[in-house]
């Protein structure tokens, strides 16, 4: 009998400071995975085991969060809650099965506003069992960059204006780190386009004129049917959208963001070559659906979450006790980079989450297997993409109006004063975060945690 096979060596992912050509600069100082911005596209098949060792060559601690993956709690990458932060020079092995196909991504969850902005993010693609047939599969990480007068990444992370308003916006938009890249396509090709919003705070309003395109998945989860892409698609931080695009005729077609200050080009699709048969292809079918556990709405635990704070709010800033303020002053003096309280969930500002997540009490506890209905009430004047760790949820209603399709998401975008109701089966034991994915909002308190009791 052979010896049981030793586990194969994990793939190494090194996080390191480096200089690369990005954001219009020839040698931009960044922090990067494997010296690439974005990090390498990690591709697996559904059911594969991701086995990867993070090597931290950064000057700061770090972790990796696998956004949207239903994984064991100990692999979720939340420092002080699911693991210790990986110190400079340290290593951490992430190993877990990938239960769902779709477009996901990975990024640090320590000093998140700074570490993402410096370049640490990458796509994680889990192939469908029966993917919709395409000629090409493109992964585009959308981002924005705030550069200073010297063309370096501006180091005013956590500044109070960004934290209390819409978060950190950069003046430069990029796709895969490049300003207005062009992708060449042959006439007649059918392309899967996977978009990931890796920006700290920007909500993209995306258009692609001139080509036929269909939305087939959001946040990794396939739609019931392909939906033609018409008008602006809102993609908040952390969210993903998968499209099928037919390059039916030669030409130059632009992916644009409808910034309130004017349309801006993100990237171009340059289609060339003789026209084919000219026959339009039939609409694509989304991948066959991998069922998630269906929440039992009748027997669910119902919990209310009220989002408060932010600028232009009558109720004012969250209060910090004198002792809390003094403790924060000492931490800042010791070199910590963190935000002042600006946001709350049910009156609590969720702060210090780089180090002391576990110091916060659970907002609610639920026995494993029970369904949960969360009614989230945004009483602020700002947009918030609310992200749930470890689970996917159905969006049941928005502002009291039921959504008949009840789409599956891991992040729900809420406009000012919006109310949404979401539901999920709490089948993944452990301590999980629910937070705004505008990274400066989370740093300023807009998060909470809950426990699924094993
Ligand atoms: Cu927010």
Q: Would you state the pLDDT for residue 1?
A: 47
Distance 274 CA to ligand 1 centre (A): 47
Distance 310 CA to ligand 1 centre (A): 9
Sequence-ordered list of residues with C-beta below 8 angstroms from that of 45, at least 6 positions apart, any chain: 98, 126, 127, 129
The whole-chain average pLDDT of the chain stands at 93
Structure tokens at 283: 């609409």
Q: Indicate the pTM of the whole model.
A: 0.95
Structure tokens at 358: 């576990």
Distance 354 CA to ligand 1 centre (A): 17
Distance 138 CA to ligand 1 centre (A): 29
Read off the pLDDT of residues 82-139 as tens digits, 9 standing for 90 and up: 999 999 999 999 999 999 999 999 999 999 999 999 999 999 999 998 889 999 999 9
Q: Give the mean pLDDT per block of 10 residues along the chain (454 residues).
A: 63 98 96 98 96 97 97 96 96 97 97 97 95 95 97 94 96 97 96 98 96 96 93 97 96 92 92 74 85 95 96 79 85 82 91 61 94 98 97 98 96 98 98 97 95 94
Distance 342 CA to ligand 1 centre (A): 11
Alpha carbon distance 222, 288 (integer Å): 8
Distance 166 CA to ligand 1 centre (A): 7
Distance 54 CA to ligand 1 centre (A): 29
Q: Would you state the pLDDT for residue 6?
A: 53
Distance 443 CA to ligand 1 centre (A): 10
Distance 345 CA to ligand 1 centre (A): 11
Alpha carbon distance 144, 439 (integer Å): 13
Alpha carbon distance 396, 243 (integer Å): 24
Distance 244 CA to ligand 1 centre (A): 30
Distance 384 CA to ligand 1 centre (A): 4
Alpha carbon distance 100, 409 (integer Å): 13
Across 120-239, the runs of DSSP E, i.e. the strands, are: 122-127, 136-145, 172-175, 182-186, 190-197, 204-208, 212-218, 221-228, 233-235
Read off the pLDDT of residues 404-431 as tens digits, 9 standing for 90 and up: 999 999 999 999 999 999 999 999 999 9
The answer to whether 281 and 246 are in contact (CB under 8 A) is: yes
CA 76 to chain centre: 13
Q: Would you state the pLDDT for residue 277?
A: 52
Distance 241 CA to ligand 1 centre (A): 20
Distance 435 CA to ligand 1 centre (A): 8
Structure tokens at 405: 């399709």
Distance 382 CA to ligand 1 centre (A): 7
Sequence-ordered list of residues with C-beta below 8 angstroms from that of 105, at least 6 positions apart, any chain: 67, 68, 121, 122, 123, 124, 141, 196, 198, 240
Distance 21 CA to ligand 1 centre (A): 31
Looking up tokens 């951490």 gives 92
Q: Is 112 helix (H, G, I), strand (E, B) or coil?
A: helix
Distance 158 CA to ligand 1 centre (A): 14
Q: Would you state the pLDDT for residue 51?
A: 97
Alpha carbon distance 185, 175 (integer Å): 17
Distance 64 CA to ligand 1 centre (A): 21
Q: Would you state the pLDDT for residue 261?
A: 77
In the chain the domains, ranked by start, together with CATH numbers, are 11-127 (2.60.40.420), 136-272 (2.60.40.420), 301-453 (2.60.40.420)
Share of the chain above pLDDT 70, in %: 96
Q: Would you state the pLDDT for residue 100?
A: 96
Distance 386 CA to ligand 1 centre (A): 7
H helix runs in 43-109, sequence order: none
Asked, as a colleague might, if the bond just before 38 is cis with ω within 30 of 0, I would say: yes
């Amino acid at each position: 009998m052979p010896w049981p096979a030793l586990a194969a060596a994990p793939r190494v992912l090194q996080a390191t400071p480096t200089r690369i050509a990005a954001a219009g600069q020839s040698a931009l100082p960044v922090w990067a995975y494997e010296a690439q911005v974005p990090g390498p596209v990690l591709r697996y098949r559904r059911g594969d085991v991701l086995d990867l060792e993070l090597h931290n060559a950064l000057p700061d601690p770090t972790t990796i969060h696998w956004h949207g993956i239903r994984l064991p709690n100990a692999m979720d990458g939340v420092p002080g809650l699911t693991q210790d932060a990986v110190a400079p020079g340290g290593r951490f092995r992430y190993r877990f099965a990938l239960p769902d196909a779709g477009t996901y991504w990975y990024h640090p969850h320590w000093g998140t506003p700074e570490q993402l902005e410096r370049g640490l993010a990458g796509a994680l693609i889990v192939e469908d069992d029966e993917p919709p047939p395409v000629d090409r599969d493109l992964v585009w990480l959308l981002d924005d960059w705030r550069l200073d007068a010297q063309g370096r990444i501006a180091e005013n992370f956590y500044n109070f204006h960004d934290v209390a308003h819409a978060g950190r916006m950069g003046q430069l938009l990029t796709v895969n780190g490049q300003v207005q890249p062009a992708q060449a396509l042959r006439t007649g090709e059918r392309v899967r386009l996977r978009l990931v919003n890796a920006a700290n705070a920007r909500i993209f309003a995306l258009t692609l004129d001139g080509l036929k395109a269909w939305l087939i998945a959001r946040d990794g989860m396939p739609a019931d049917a392909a939906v033609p892409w018409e008008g602006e698609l809102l993609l908040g931080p952390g969210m993903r959208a998968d499209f099928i695009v037919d390059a039916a005729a030669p030409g130059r077609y632009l992916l644009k963001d409808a910034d309130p200050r004017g349309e801006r080009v993100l990237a171009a699709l340059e289609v060339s070559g003789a026209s084919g048969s000219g026959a339009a292809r039939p609409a694509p079918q989304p991948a066959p659906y991998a069922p998630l556990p269906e929440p039992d709405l009748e027997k669910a635990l119902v919990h209310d979450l009220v989002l408060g704070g932010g600028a232009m709010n009558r109720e004012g800033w969250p209060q910090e006790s004198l002792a809390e303020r003094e403790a924060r002053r000492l931490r800042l003096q010791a070199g910590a980079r963190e935000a002042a309280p600006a946001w709350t969930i049910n009156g609590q500002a969720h702060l210090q989450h780089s180090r002391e997540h576990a110091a916060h009490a659970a907002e609610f506890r639920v026995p494993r297997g029970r369904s949960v209905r969360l009614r989230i009430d945004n009483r602020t004047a700002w947009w918030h993409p609310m992200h749930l760790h470890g689970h996917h949820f159905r969006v049941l209603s928005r502002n009291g109006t039921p959504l008949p399709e009840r789409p599956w998401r891991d992040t729900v975008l809420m406009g000012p004063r919006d109310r949404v109701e979401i539901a999920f089966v709490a089948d993944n034991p452990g301590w999980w975060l629910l937070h705004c994915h505008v990274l400066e909002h989370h740093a300023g308190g807009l998060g909470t945690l809950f426990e699924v009791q094993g």
